[in-house]
Structure 1
Amino acid sequence: MNVSHLPFFLLSFATYALAAGTAGVATIAPQLLGTSPVPGFDSRITGCTLAPAGNCQRAAADLTLAGLAWLDGSTVIRLGTLAPWAGDAGTSLQIVAGAQRLVIQPTAAVHVPGATRLDARLDDARGGTPVAAVLQSMPGAAVVELWLRGALFKEADNPVLQTVREGRVLDSISLRDGERTDHSVAFLHHGNQGLTWTDVLWGNEPSSNEQHWADYLNTGSTHNGFDELLGLHDLLNLPVNLQIAGPLQTAAEWYYPGGGAVEGWNDWVTRGVSEGWAALVASAYAQHIMPFVQDSMNNWAVYTHTQMTAWRYGYVPHTAWVPERVWVSPQDFDGNGTDTSPHVIDWIGDNWLPHGIWGVVLDQEEHCDYENNWANDRHIYTIDSPGQGSLNIIPISGSFTGNCHHDAGAAWNQIITSSPDELLLYATDWEVAAEVAGFQDQFPSALENMIWIAQQVAGSGGSANAVTLDQAMGGYTGGPINLQNGTYGLLGGRGGYGSDWLSPGTHNSWYSDWAGSPAHSDQHQPQWNYGQVWNATWNNLMSCPTNDLSETAWYVLMTNLYETGWHDGSEISGWIHRYASHIKNANVYAEASRWVDGQYANACAAYTSDIDMDGVDEVVLHNDRVFAVFESTGGRAPWIFSKGPDYDASVVGSCSAYWVETEGDYNDGASNNHVAAFSDVSPNTQNDPYSIQIDSSSASFSRITLSLGALSKSFSLEPGNPWITVDYDVPQETWIQHGFTPDYIDLLWSAASDRIWDPGASWPSTEYAGQRNPNTGVTGALVLGNGGALHSMDFQGTLVRGDEIRGSGRFRYLFYAGTTSEPAMNGAVSELVSLASQNMDATPPRLDPQAAFLAPDKALLLFDETVDPTTATSLSSYTLSGFPGGVGLVSATVQADPRVVALRLTGLQAGSNGTIHASGVSDLNGNLLDPAHDSASFSMPDGLTPHTILVDGVNDFIQWSEWMEQSTDSLFITWDSQYLYIGYNGLNLATGDFFVYIDTDGVAGSGAPRNAWNRVGFGPDRRPEYELSIEGGGNSMQLNVWAGNWSYQQYGEHGATSFEGWSGNIMNEIRLPWSELGSPTQLALALSTSQEDNLMTTRSWPAANPVGNNITITDWFVFDSTTMGQAMPAMGVAPNGTSLSILPDPPVVSISLHSATQVRLDWDTVPGALAYRVYSSSAPWAGSWQLVQETTDAFLLEPIGGFSAFYLVRSVGP
């Protein structure tokens, strides 16, 4: 977005809104005076009455009065309609006061830009003294302003404005109409929330109640929020002053935009402006504490907030709220004996008038009490801003504000006993009277009290008058003041921000403590503190070229200085750390602004740089259209920028939104406020450390590769292309998220981002998906085409909307970052349609080298991508080699997972093995199998080791020899010469954690006394040297090693792989290389599961171990020469031979009806068997067998229970 595209207001002009009033009454929004269009008129206000006009006599001239102001050297009369006077030479405009009469004629008019000079003469004792007069029309408003040289009729009792033709008065209005009543009060609600926290807007009310703002009469636990107070003033048409911080304005627009019959939050405020009951108050854009930063930062913040407020609400504010009312000076000369100058950089008194701010709101006691009677300080004072003029100081009536919260009667008494020259100002955080953010507990009747007080003012019949602060300035004058430094009492009073609470003898201790604290995200050695971070970032921004990305950097810097250094007691608030830790992110936008400016010599390159100045290098990949910054953490791109001939914009990165969950640059998992592009969320490695390699960096082509374990992803750019080519190679199906912020600076103003989607798509297949900014056309999108990825879902955070895709094996897609044309009527985006039509799949599929045993006549082949069903089911695509004679291929069937093919074979016998070749299989785009990866070995298991398991979530363990214990769940163990395999069918790892403890030396007392996650302990006889710990979610398995203490190896840092059970498949599988354990000759295993994130063990193996809280494991499965007959890994053995003998099962098992209530199971006896174990299952394919009984008989009677069951009989030997 080009900044010049914004409809900025020049602060030297005012805007007006004329609303329809009742007959004879002009209801004018009490807004602001414009500036005289010609030299010689002084526009410093010293007296002003701009309240709505009273009744007037209507006549042909149709004259209405909007307001009157006396300035230092001018009189300004704001009028409604002047027709027909302005064009009627026979009609004059006259002001009469006693013997004085001013006659203004439309004749001899001289036109100057924006105005008309008029002939005006004062008919007094001197006989027609000329008076300079100018008529100024206000563009877009139904009012004009008549400017007269001199403060005319200011002291007159009742000056009257008339239109006169041929001596006959056509219309007459008293200029005193609408002046202040006897008791004046102003209400100011200050909303300073950031970009994320919007609960305060509607409080506890359901979204369906958002438009029922009139329910302010039904206060209670379910009725609170800012809306209650807006509704109150709306319904009563009672003027109110609102300070809405810049980020809160954006958040309201993002989360509550309205539409159709629903009025958006900001639209509601805008309507209040047009109807005259809402006036806006300016401040610093994101509420940083102003005196402790540079003057340029303060000017930016006040200017930006004033502009945004004027643009959004149609109101140019001239009153400002000082953040936390912290007013301290670099040199403290206020004379009260307390020096609050430490750490102060800027005197903020000169940051207001240049931006159209005439007065600021401060505190009675703390700022106005030294040489003034603060208890009765209900006037508006002035201080001098050298070289600029006088700045009004509007004191908050502290006792009145407090009474409004807890003693409404006392507050009303203060109103009705105030004098006409006094202004009672209620002003504090909006959430107090709204009873949100904890204030409902501190002031449980605040909202009810405010409602009652407002009703009294509105129903007073004019004896009490609510005014806006812009309207009030110039009246209620108290003259110059010796302004005191400090802040309000709860923050330190005259001792400054945090007084000397944390640094005795030195004031402003909240700032000094924060500024000197190490920044939590900084990695420099030595570590930078927050003061160094913000100062280095500001210096960097000051050297940037001027463009949209450097301007965006200012938003990031200033927003993350929010409530600079706020403390909870003696500690820096946690949310302050989360803001301030991201000040440094503005440096990324700053560097990108230099790329936009053409300061990069190469059109295409990849390089490493500490671009965010946090002490750790990032990798930058750019061409002349796209600039992407990658972090090793998660292998993600938190920032992607785009530029073209007429734009520059951020496409990924929302660095002024609050980090809800992290002080680093990690993704926000729950809030989605920060979701970097290329975030691998399942298996969840989005915050794991990736390795980064620059493959190529040249002017014609650049590519980088990021990898973690078996996962790798490459990103490449060529000059001229507004897209990144993305190539993934993953060991299992992977889900990837991308958050879009198309034209972030425009989003901060308009909050406008539209979904784009292939209109001809049928989910999950789509050609493209993303977000487009409707104001500027800037687009972030994923172009999937035929590259192999599928759409999964879309999501939203604060100023972020994004898309998740999924893919298996190797797949390609394009990340588009540029502008696109307006979508067609059907929603199609032509640029993306064109890109999606290109062939993105030139990668041949690969076959896993190990085929899995599924059944005595079936083998499973696993490909790394979806295969073409025609070639995959054709028997001609396969050949067999190495098998014994008689083995043949009967059929090939694609499974529910389109990457898996089941082959049915004949002639297989236990121990048969050979190779399956699949060279004729292709993918969906005709790419034949990679010749180097077109074969898979297969072994027909005989129940003895070695047995190779395919880790894919399919249970291909052998029940009789690898099933370790019998229960409602199933634990399996086996191995081959390279790997140890463990299977557990029975746990969704989203609901619990899984642990495998491994003792390799068998030495008593050797090993860890407690497990790596400190959830279980171990007895003295056996303790583990290794532990597999699985959180769940995919690729979460740690291999932790004990060597006096635990060292933790994350997924990708070790050679073990896993399939982690979830709600749709509770089979968990592990493949652990023997080499990771030091190739042991003996082994003992114990296992357990626990609840999520606590010490409660829910299952343990062997079963003799306990369950419950903080257990101690003493029993182990032992595999060594004494139990297996040979050293590990033992071959030709049954892994469960320590508990079940290796005897054949009974060859024949029959079942018959024994009686009306029983069935009888019979089986053949087995030579050598001492007993038989009978198991039942309702789902034998899931491996969930339950022991029914062990018997020495060859039969068993079972009751009929009204359910289906399968039975299994096992022989038990000596």
Structure 2
Amino acid sequence: MSWQFHDFQGMLACNVSKSTADDYGFTNGETVYIRVATVRDGQSGLRDICPNDSLSDGYWDGALASNSHTVTTKLAFVHHGNQHINPFTSGVVDDGQGHGFYRILDSHEEYGLPVNIHMSGVLITSLVWNNPSFLERIKNLTSRGLVEILGSVYGQHIMPYLDECLNTWALNKHKELCQRYFNATPRVAWVPERVWKYFLDNDFSNTGFEAVVLDGQTHHNDYCGCGNYHLTHKINTSYDVYAFFICERWYGTDFPGANSDWHLDFKKHWAGIVRAGDEKQICVYGDDWEKAAGVANWPTGNPNNYDSMIRWLAGAKPWIQVVKLSDYLDWYTQPTSGVTITITEDTYGGLKYWTGGSYDNWYNDFKYWVPYGCTKTAETLWKDVLQALNYSSSFNTSTPSGRLKELAMWTLASNLYETAWHEWDGSDWVLCGWGKEIWAHLRYAMILVKAANWTENPPATPQIYWEDVDDDGANELIMCNDKIYFVIERIGGRIVFAATKDGRVYIGNYMVQYRGTEGDYNDDDHVGALTDKWYTYNNHDYSHELYTVQIEVSNQTHVQAKMVSPDAYITKKATLRKGSYGLRVQYSQKYAGTLYVRLGSFSPDLETMLYEGKKVLQTLGSGGQGFMGWKNTVTNASAVVAWQYPGAAYSWAWTLTFAKMVEIKSLALNFCFDLTFAPLQNETEFAFSTLYSAYLNVYTSFTEGSKLVAAFYTYSGVQKANITVWRGVTPNWVALYMEVWHPLGLPIENVTLFLVDEEGNILSKVTSFLVTRAHLQARTEELKQKWTDAALEEKTVLMREIAEIDSQWPYAPG
């Protein structure tokens, strides 16, 4: 017989050889009965015996049979990860010093024990940009059964205070991301800050959730007298939603070592669950993932201690079963002992104390708070957005309007993050500073709503007008045509939004966390185009100066905005022409000196970038080529700055969060550049649009010439008209995308693009386009589809085009 003490597991193992057993008359396969007793040095009597007996009659009764068994303690670890969309989430995953989310995954993977993970939607989106490989790792562990994914609302807004439609959208959006990145459909939900009110079960049930995670100390003990929160309870409504309760013994713990007194108490606690004999009892740990990971100001020793505990549990498998919450639901068709519970309102203990018993007290501070630079309260702002969106169950994201409205809801949900959270200012709880910087920008969702409305009825001619599109009580300048929509803010004279008629956003990464400002200002991840960052003449930053912005030109062919700095040292003009997908920008400086102009935050097709991250972006041009931009390789959406004209040069470029930026600098008092936001192709070509117009895509370099001219011909070769589509200097790289209309309003038959010099001499033919019967047939079908829903005046226009197609058909080539 030999003995071995396992210090880490706290166990003493006894090994009896077969020959010894034979000597004592044991038969192979026979049941063995065992009694165990412990003694202490220097003391008489037995310290502990198993099985237990009072020994009052002088006999030790009973024995443990070798074929006996017991129930297991079910133990579930739930880690809640929540960080906003910012550049810092990679440091939370791995801080490079042995701490981070990855350590928790390492422990569970090493010892083969499952773990339940909730990642907020904003954290997932942030990692799509910053650390997609970490999402891949979680997907792999999920496929191997080691990770269970929990759901929740996308931006971790505090659910009871927002409308049901937003809760539903946010639950479904988060579920969509879990399916996309982890191939998992969550069945159990994490409730933000565990702030619960009685009606929320409806939101979770309607979006497919079977259970939620709440707190044993409060949600259970405040509303149920059964005395056992280790049993799941059915929430007492008509919906089949169950509650798992976090064990209160975990509160306030920072994961001491596995053999500490604290851990010994837990072993006793788990042993007590076993002795109770109820297979359905489950001890749930639930807390911030950052805590166990030792980041975000949590003790840095936590990851090692957590690993020690998981290692100990791996050796305790005979009586402790570490589980996934969904497995628990699968094991028990009714995962409860019949107990139901009605929870009117509650949260976890600490938050309940801080809020004075109800989160209502904190939300009311938020409800009546007026963000900096606004005239409306925070609650009015988010309600305005929802009312404007008129959301019911989903948006049709196959349409331009639906795509922009989906991004509007995405912006709103992101900026309601941790709604109404407070911080201690030394004497009282007040709305936290970082929260106000985020919440103040939820109103930017309204810009996307306005752009969505524009796509539904784009103007036939360029428009320029004033409108309060961000709901702050002050007007912004809008420049738009039937192709593109710009918003210009007086602060800095900056372009703060750009979207095209197909519903693609090029400037407007509003769901990314705002840091350092409540107002309409730049921060590290939001830099408006035409930001006058530095003027060396007076060493001044004009980024946030209040410019005089005025409408200088507005006619049938083009509109122009003029922006002048407060000291009149800087004047800039932006011109938008009919059919154009971009702006020609002209700068004038009053005095000699270098002006540095920042052009961002460029997000060519923001929606695709939010799903795909950096991998879809291709750099176009370079500082030495006189133009620079980025192309989305999925949709060809491209944002390009071309400064080849005399007077400007490249300064530098860099990456923001879900955006890119380039800075140019002046070399003369006057300079200009082009901004293009369009689905650029790699070829230079025309494409059919309507009977009277064609799209022109130019993406090439020219070593000579000063103009690109589109000449319009009949099928027989008679020139009818021409129009200049680009003017500049060479050598030059031209990135251009625009709709070119017949100058006489006639049907297009043949159009050719020529490179010409300043005197009008043709230097070369660039490309040409011939309208064929195939084009006419396709256009006829398109017009017939429009006819059904067209108003009477629209039908007149459609009929004219159909009639002229019929007239052109006999002459058009097959």
TM-score, normalised to structure 1, is: 0.47
CA deviation vs aligned residue, 1:513-553 (integer Å, no higher than 9, x gap): 1111222231x3xxx22122222222122279851111101
Structure 1 segment 709-728 matched on structure 2, within 5 A: 709-728=568-587
- Which of 784, 788, 796 matches 2:643? 784
**Alpha carbons 2:155, 2:413 under 8 Å: kept:** yes
Does residue 454 in structure 1 map to residue 304 in structure 2? no
SS in 2 for 1:833: strand
Percent of residue pairs bearing the same amino acid type:
24
Structure 1 segment 313-392 matched on structure 2, within 5 A: 313-329=182-198, 347-370=199-222, 372-373=224-225, 376-386=228-238, 389-392=239-242
1:381 is displaced (CA, Å) by 1.3
**Alpha carbons 1:766, 1:784 under 8 Å: kept:** no
> 2-side partners of 1:415 and 1:197: how far apart?
41
Question: Partner of 2:474 in structure 1?
Answer: 616
Question: Partner of 2:36 in structure 1?
Answer: none
> 1-side partners of 2:511 and 2:150: how far apart?
22
1:752 is displaced (CA, Å) by 3.2
Structure 1 segment 625-644 matched on structure 2, within 5 A: 625-643=483-501
> 2-side partners of 1:242 and 1:223: how far apart?
20
Structure 1 segment 195-594 matched on structure 2, within 5 A: 195-196=85-86, 198-199=88-89, 201-202=91-92, 205-206=95-96, 222-257=97-132, 264-329=133-198, 347-370=199-222, 372-373=224-225, 376-386=228-238, 389-400=239-250, 402-403=252-253, 405-406=255-256, 407-419=262-274, 420-440=279-299, 445-473=301-329, 475=332, 476-484=335-343, 485-492=345-352, 498-499=355-356, 508-522=360-374, 524=375, 528-542=376-390, 546-569=401-424, 570-594=429-453
Question: Partner of 2:608 in structure 1?
Answer: 746
**Alpha carbons 1:534, 1:583 under 8 Å: kept:** yes
> 1-side partners of 2:228 and 2:702: how far apart?
72
**Alpha carbons 2:683, 2:699 under 8 Å: kept:** no
CA deviation vs aligned residue, 1:336-371 (integer Å, no higher than 9, x gap): xxxxxxxxxxx2211112222111111112111145
1:470 is displaced (CA, Å) by 1.3
> 1-side partners of 2:557 and 2:111: how far apart?
67
Which amino acid counterpart does residue 547 of structure 2 have in structure 1?
Answer: Y
> 1-side partners of 2:451 and 2:504: how far apart?
10
Which amino acid counterpart does residue 752 of structure 1 have in structure 2?
Answer: K
1:449 is displaced (CA, Å) by 2.9
Does residue 735 in structure 1 map to residue 596 in structure 2? yes
Does residue 765 in structure 1 map to residue 624 in structure 2? yes
> 1-side partners of 2:188 and 2:656: how far apart?
33
**Alpha carbons 1:298, 1:348 under 8 Å: kept:** no
SS in 2 for 1:794: strand
> 1-side partners of 2:285 and 2:455: how far apart?
48
Structure 1 segment 123-134 matched on structure 2, within 5 A: none
Distance 1:836 1:750, change over 3 A: farther
Distance 1:512 1:836, change over 3 A: farther
Structure 1 segment 959-1038 matched on structure 2, within 5 A: none
Which amino acid counterpart does residue 225 of structure 1 have in structure 2?
Answer: G
CA deviation vs aligned residue, 1:232-256 (integer Å, no higher than 9, x gap): 1122222111111111111112112
> 1-side partners of 2:703 and 2:498: how far apart?
24
Structure 1 segment 130-209 matched on structure 2, within 5 A: 182-196=72-86, 198-199=88-89, 201-202=91-92, 205-206=95-96
Question: Partner of 1:1048 in structure 2?
Answer: none
SS in 2 for 1:317: coil
1:180 is displaced (CA, Å) by 11
> 1-side partners of 2:158 and 2:217: how far apart?
20
SS in 2 for 1:615: coil
Which amino acid counterpart does residue 611 of structure 2 have in structure 1?
Answer: W
Instruction: List gaps (5 residues or longer) in structure 1.
Output: 1-178, 207-221, 258-263, 330-346, 501-505, 825-829, 843-866, 869-924, 929-1214
Distance 1:371 1:653, change over 3 A: closer
> 2-side partners of 1:180 and 1:793: how far apart?
69
Which amino acid counterpart does residue 464 of structure 2 have in structure 1?
Answer: A
SS in 2 for 1:685: coil
1:507 is displaced (CA, Å) by 6.4
> 1-side partners of 2:412 and 2:120: how far apart?
16
1:700 is displaced (CA, Å) by 2.1
**Alpha carbons 2:108, 2:146 under 8 Å: kept:** yes
SS in 1 for 2:516: coil
**Alpha carbons 1:521, 1:581 under 8 Å: kept:** no
1:773 is displaced (CA, Å) by 2.0
1:182 is displaced (CA, Å) by 1.2
Does residue 695 in structure 1 map to residue 552 in structure 2? yes
SS in 1 for 2:295: coil
Question: Partner of 2:465 in structure 1?
Answer: 607
Which amino acid counterpart does residue 649 of structure 1 have in structure 2?
Answer: R
Question: Partner of 2:503 in structure 1?
Answer: 648
Distance 1:648 1:835, change over 3 A: farther
1:201 is displaced (CA, Å) by 4.8
1:588 is displaced (CA, Å) by 0.4
Which amino acid counterpart does residue 276 of structure 1 have in structure 2?
Answer: G
SS in 2 for 1:517: coil
**Alpha carbons 1:635, 1:689 under 8 Å: kept:** yes
> 1-side partners of 2:210 and 2:70: how far apart?
20
Does residue 665 in structure 1 map to residue 520 in structure 2? yes
Which amino acid counterpart does residue 229 of structure 2 have in structure 1?
Answer: D
SS in 2 for 1:230: helix
The size of the alignment, in residue pairs, is: 601
Which amino acid counterpart does residue 365 of structure 2 have in structure 1?
Answer: D
SS in 1 for 2:594: strand
> 2-side partners of 1:509 and 1:229: how far apart?
35
> 2-side partners of 1:792 and 1:685: how far apart?
17
**Alpha carbons 2:500, 2:677 under 8 Å: kept:** yes
Give 1 or 2 for the bigger CA radius of gyration.
1
Structure 1 segment 59-138 matched on structure 2, within 5 A: none
SS in 1 for 2:241: strand
What's the Cα RMSD here? 3.0
> 2-side partners of 1:676 and 1:200: how far apart?
26
> 2-side partners of 1:415 and 1:424: how far apart?
8
1:409 is displaced (CA, Å) by 3.0
**Alpha carbons 2:92, 2:290 under 8 Å: kept:** no
SS in 2 for 1:547: helix
Distance 1:459 1:677, change over 3 A: same
Distance 1:840 1:459, change over 3 A: farther
Distance 1:247 1:203, change over 3 A: closer
SS in 2 for 1:298: helix
Instruction: List gaps (5 residues or longer) in structure 2.
Output: 1-68, 257-261, 536-540, 685-695, 709-728, 731-755, 760-814
Relative contact order, higher structure (CA 8 A, sep 6+): 2
Does residue 819 in structure 1 map to residue 694 in structure 2? no
Distance 1:549 1:765, change over 3 A: same
